[in-house]
Structure 1
Amino acid sequence: MKIRLVKNGVFTPIEDITQTLLPPEDGFYWIDADNEDLLGLQPLFGIHDLAVEDCLSEDEQRPKLEVYESHYFIVVNSIRFDDEEIFLRSLNMFLGRHYIITVTKQKISELRAIKPILWKEEVNAADRMLYHLVDLVVDNYFLVGDRIEARIEQLEEDILMNTKKSHLTEIIGLRSEILWLKKGLGPQRDVIGALNKKELRLFDIQLQKYFGDIHENAVKISETFETYRDLMGNLREAYQSSVANRANEIMRVFTALTTIFMPLTFLTGVYGMNFDYIPGMHDRYGSIVLLFIMAFLGFGMFYLFRKKDWL
């Protein structure tokens, strides 16, 4: 657990947790904790049992906003896209009048990225830090969206150039990830909308209006991932169409080859019969003439098929 006094964006480490129980003369306290630390923080800050239970639960948490008497409990989902797989990680935040407590199960990049922003913006209030955190979380969705879009375009190009069975696996996997992610975007959008419109006494009224801009971005993200879902459906149809066209091309080649060899097979069948007399059978150059005729027929039919663009 790390405890910091944040004053105009400047961090001062705090060793004694009891110091955070009273408001500082200037600034606010940021307590960055994990689940085990939360059990010790609960009695000190009067954190509600249901909020603690949600943080400690192994189940995936939906974005939410819960208003308690002395603090707010806010959950948003941070996003990562590693090795073609999407990860959502819950960022749990407890906002009080003079403090903010962040609780995470895994490392979240936004908590590292927030530090230079606090310094640059000279942040001096806990609600402003929460605003910047939520803004970072939402902005990361745009970055992940750009990577997903690039992956979709690459898949489309690969399918058109050289269709492989592995492409279908990638399409199904990525589409499932997008659908799963889409289900969580609605609740997160609603939470940010509530931060913008709901009466929240722990938020500065002027600052609360800025959540409207974040909410617009959240709506755009939801619409963007809806588009990605449709694109994945189109990509699957393109894959199936490409496979069908490839099968047709192969069948066309096989049909042409079979047609070319039909007269050649006929000739070899005739001269393979056990009759005493067949024209040219006993001729000295009969076999050469027959091979020439067969070659002429074969190459002639091949030339005809190429000319008609059947091969």
Structure 2
Amino acid sequence: MKIRLVNEGIFTPIDDIHTTLTAPEEGFYWIDADLDDLVILQPLFQMHDLAVEDCLNDEEQRPKMEIYEGHYFIVINSIRFDDEEIFLRALNIFLGKHYIITITKQKINELRTVKPLLWEQEVSSADRMLYLVIDTVVDSYFKVADRIEAKIENLEEEVLVNAKKSHLNEIISLRSEILWVKKELAPQKELLLVLYRKDLRLIDDNLQKYFRDIYEDAVKVAETFDTFRDLMANLRESYQSSIANRANEIMRVFTAMTTIFMPLTFITGIYGMNFDNIPFIHYKYGAVFLIGFMFMLGTIMLVWFKKKDWL
């Protein structure tokens, strides 16, 4: 657990957790904690049992906001994409008048990214930090969306050039990940709408208006993932078309080969019969003449197929 006094974006480490129970003369306290620290934090800050239970729950938490006496409990999902799977990680936030507590199960990059923003904007209030954290989380969705879009474009090029079975597995896997994120975005938009519209005494009225921009960004993210869903459906159709076209190409080659060998098989069939009165059967160079004729016939048919664009 790391405890910092933040004043005008400057961090001052705090050793005694009890110091944070009273408001500082200037600035606010940021407590960055793990799940194990809830044993200490819950009685000190009078955290509601249901909020603590949500933090400790192994199941994925729905983004939401709960209003308790003296503090708010907010859950928002950060996003990460490793080119194979999309990860959503819950960021639990307890917001008080003079403190903000962030609790996570795993490390979340947005908390590291927000530190220089606090210094650049000389932040001295907990609600301002809440805004920056949520804004950073929502912005990370755009970065992931750009990577997903690039992956879809690469997949489309590979499928059109040379479709493979592995591509279908990638398409199905990525589509399921996109649908999953899309489902999670709906409650996240609801959370941001509450932060924007609801009368919240722990968030400054002037600051609360800025949450509208974050909400609009969240709507854009949701629309982007809607587009991805449609693109994945089109990509799957392209894969099926590519496979069908390849099968048609193979069948066309096989058909041409079969057609070419049909007269050759007919000739060899005739000369394979046990009769004496077959033309050239006793001719000295009959075999050479016949093989040459068959080769010439096959070549003529092949050239003809090429000219007709059948191959």
TM-score, length-scaled by structure 1: 0.99
Instruction: Confirm whether residue 197 of structure 1 aligns to residue 197 of structure 2.
Output: yes
The residue number in structure 2 matching 1:310 is 310
CA-to-aligned-CA distance 1:10-68 (integer Å, 9 cap, x gap): 00000001100000000000000011101210111111111000001111101000011
CA-to-aligned-CA distance 1:93-149 (integer Å, 9 cap, x gap): 000000000000000001101110000000000000000000000000000000000
The residue number in structure 2 matching 1:301 is 301
Which amino acid is 2:105 matched to?
A: K
The residue number in structure 2 matching 1:246 is 246
Aligned pairs for 1:62-101 (under 5 A) are 62-101=62-101
Which amino acid is 1:56 matched to?
A: L
Which amino acid is 1:151 matched to?
A: K
State how far apart, in whole Å, the 1-side matches of 2:61 and 2:39 are: 18
Which amino acid is 1:196 matched to?
A: Y
State how far apart, in whole Å, the 2-side matches of 1:292 and 1:84 are: 57
State how far apart, in whole Å, the 1-side matches of 2:148 and 2:46 are: 42
State how far apart, in whole Å, the 1-side matches of 2:197 and 2:187 are: 15
State how far apart, in whole Å, the 2-side matches of 1:285 and 1:126 are: 102
The residue number in structure 2 matching 1:170 is 170
The residue number in structure 1 matching 2:157 is 157
The residue number in structure 2 matching 1:256 is 256
Which amino acid is 1:293 matched to?
A: F
State how far apart, in whole Å, the 2-side matches of 1:80 and 1:65 are: 22
Bigger mean CA deviation after superposition, 75-84 or 216-225: 75-84
The residue number in structure 2 matching 1:105 is 105
State how far apart, in whole Å, the 1-side matches of 2:298 and 2:115 are: 77
The residue number in structure 1 matching 2:214 is 214
The residue number in structure 2 matching 1:226 is 226
CA-to-aligned-CA distance 1:55-98 (integer Å, 9 cap, x gap): 01111101000011110000000000014210000000000000
State how far apart, in whole Å, the 2-side matches of 1:86 and 1:182 are: 12
The residue number in structure 1 matching 2:133 is 133
Q: Percent identity?
A: 69
CA-to-aligned-CA distance 1:252-279 (integer Å, 9 cap, x gap): 0000000000000110110110012211
The residue number in structure 1 matching 2:5 is 5
Which amino acid is 1:187 matched to?
A: P
State how far apart, in whole Å, the 2-side matches of 1:176 and 1:39 are: 37
State how far apart, in whole Å, the 2-side matches of 1:263 and 1:82 are: 58
Secondary structure of the 1:280 match is coil
State how far apart, in whole Å, the 1-side matches of 2:246 and 2:170 are: 19
Which amino acid is 2:196 matched to?
A: N
Instruction: Confirm whether residue 285 of structure 1 aligns to residue 285 of structure 2.
Output: yes
Where structure 1 has 5 or more consecutive residues not aligned to the other structure, the ranges are none
The residue number in structure 2 matching 1:33 is 33
Q: CA deviation at 1:286?
A: 1.5
State how far apart, in whole Å, the 2-side matches of 1:49 and 1:222 are: 32
Q: CA deviation at 1:156?
A: 0.2
Secondary structure of the 2:61 match is coil
State how far apart, in whole Å, the 2-side matches of 1:46 and 1:155 are: 51
Secondary structure of the 2:209 match is helix
Which amino acid is 2:72 matched to?
A: Y
Where structure 2 has 5 or more consecutive residues not aligned to the other structure, the ranges are none
State how far apart, in whole Å, the 2-side matches of 1:107 and 1:145 are: 21
Q: CA deviation at 1:204?
A: 0.3
Secondary structure of the 1:73 match is strand
TM-score, length-scaled by structure 2: 0.99
State how far apart, in whole Å, the 1-side matches of 2:179 and 2:28 are: 39
Number of residues of Structure 1 aligned to a counterpart in Structure 2: 311
Q: CA deviation at 1:289?
A: 1.7
The structure 1 segments of at least 4 consecutive aligned residues displaced by more than 6 Å after TM superposition are: none
State how far apart, in whole Å, the 1-side matches of 2:161 and 2:16 are: 63
State how far apart, in whole Å, the 1-side matches of 2:39 and 2:96 are: 17
Secondary structure of the 1:182 match is helix
Task: Give the superposed CA RMSD.
Answer: 0.6
The residue number in structure 2 matching 1:142 is 142
